[in-house]
Structure 1
Amino acid sequence: MTEPSISAEIRRPPWPSAGLVLLAPGGVSPGDGARLATLLGLRPLACAADRQANPQEAMAQLAAESQGWLLPLGLDPGAELAQPGCWSEALGAWRQPVLLQLPAVQTESGLARAYTALLAATGVPLVGLVQQGGPWAPERRRVDGLPWLGWLPAEMPLAGSLEEEAAQALRLHVLARWQLSSARAAEPAHPTP
């Protein structure tokens, strides 16, 4: 009599949630979004930078997208829209995980703290912060106490370079924190008796 074989393979969805929204002070350019999407293996989506757009309708459309996307938001997440409110409020209401990207020149300005506070106040699940370009100073980023994930070099890195290693480390950090963020969002707010 033979025993049935038991597979130790665990089936997981390819992504912790359907996708990520990429935010930046002033908005994200499509090119910056495409570079990060390529690094993460995500499909970049287009989002018009239109203050007249209804973010609730846009979030409903995102919910219908198949998994594995990155949406670079072309508007500042805190900018007032034609309808009352801002994008960060809609992202928080939909519990949409986001990445916050800042150029290297803005990492010391206080914008990272201000935008992190805005996202926390509106209930947005912040996966973490990404520095775009410039020299990466991990010790300095650790000291500021924000959830920095790493840096994305200004140019696409060459194979085997230190920049490629940094980009791959960023990819792993983003995926790990995205998984953790999604697990926390799935936990019940109040324990059941």
Structure 2
Amino acid sequence: MLDQSMVVIGAGPLPELLMRGACTTLAEAFGVPLSTIAVGESPQSFLADLHRDGPHLVRLAGDSGRVAVDGSCWIDALGAWRVPTLLLATPLADGAIPGVVPAYLALCQSRRVPLIGLIQIGGAWRLSERRRDGLPWSGWMADHGDEGLDALVTVLQRQLRR
């Protein structure tokens, strides 16, 4: 169970079904409701009411690093509001992690987004390769089913307590 709300973003535009499935699985594992908001919505008005209805998991649909016409950006807002955030990433077909993942991580860090974890969705979990890429991985979960989920939730709960 979460004692605070968290936002889930993708490292780059992730496939909709994959992102939705992963977020649904995470929300069920944490025992909280899941809500979705599109990056076209105003981050300020949404984040002002984020904690009103108790803890929940929020899936941010779209490119969270995109700057809107009004100059707002979800990653900037997540950092300014200090919203706990999960970053999801998918590997390439050969198992390598695309360059967009460290780029999004660096963007989140530069905007002071409180990242709770970096999670690989789908593909094979190659721990030695993940350690070698130097990114702060929390773990892996299958793109279907709950393989890897228990270990991942344990790690995320520990990171949330920090």
| Deviation at residue 144 of structure 1 after TM alignment | 1.7
The superposition leaves residues 22-42 of structure 1 with CA deviations (integer Å, 9 ceiling, x where unpaired) of 000226643332122122322
The superposition leaves residues 32-85 of structure 1 with CA deviations (integer Å, 9 ceiling, x where unpaired) of 3212212232221121x252x211001012131212x11010021101113212
The superposition leaves residues 151-180 of structure 1 with CA deviations (integer Å, 9 ceiling, x where unpaired) of 1112113xxxxx2xx210001011111221
In structure 1, distance between residues paired with 2:120 and 2:78 = 21
Q: Is the CA contact (8 Å cut-off) linking 1:101 and 1:132 kept in structure 2?
A: yes
Matched, 1:41 2:39: no
Q: Which residue does 1:75 correspond to in 2?
A: 62
Relative to structure 1, the CA distance from residue 111 to residue 50 in structure 2 (aligned partners, 3 Å threshold; closer, same or farther) is: closer
Q: Is the CA contact (8 Å cut-off) linking 1:20 and 1:70 kept in structure 2?
A: yes
Provide the secondary structure at the position in 2 that maps to 1:173: helix
TM-score, length-scaled by structure 2: 0.87
Q: Greater relative contact order: 1 or 2 (C-alpha under 8 angstroms, separation 6 or more)?
A: 2
Matched, 1:31 2:21: yes
| Deviation at residue 19 of structure 1 after TM alignment | 1.2
More moved, 36-45 vs 111-120: 36-45
Amino acid at match of 1:152: M
Amino acid at match of 1:116: L
In structure 2, distance between residues paired with 1:107 and 1:82 = 34
Higher strand share: 2
In structure 2, distance between residues paired with 1:50 and 1:91 = 12
Relative to structure 1, the CA distance from residue 104 to residue 42 in structure 2 (aligned partners, 3 Å threshold; closer, same or farther) is: farther
In structure 1, distance between residues paired with 2:85 and 2:154 = 16
The percentage of counterpart residues that share the same residue type is 33
Provide the secondary structure at the position in 1 that maps to 2:13: coil
Report runs of 4+ in structure 1 exceeding 4 Å deviation.
none
Relative to structure 1, the CA distance from residue 44 to residue 73 in structure 2 (aligned partners, 3 Å threshold; closer, same or farther) is: same
| Mapping for residues 140-151 of structure 1, pairs under 5 Å | 140-151=129-140
Structure 2's unaligned 5+ residue stretches are: none
In structure 2, distance between residues paired with 1:123 and 1:150 = 22
In structure 2, distance between residues paired with 1:42 and 1:136 = 26
What RMSD over aligned residues (CA atoms) do the two structures have, in Å? 1.8
TM-score, length-scaled by structure 1: 0.74
Q: Which residue does 1:186 correspond to in 2?
A: none
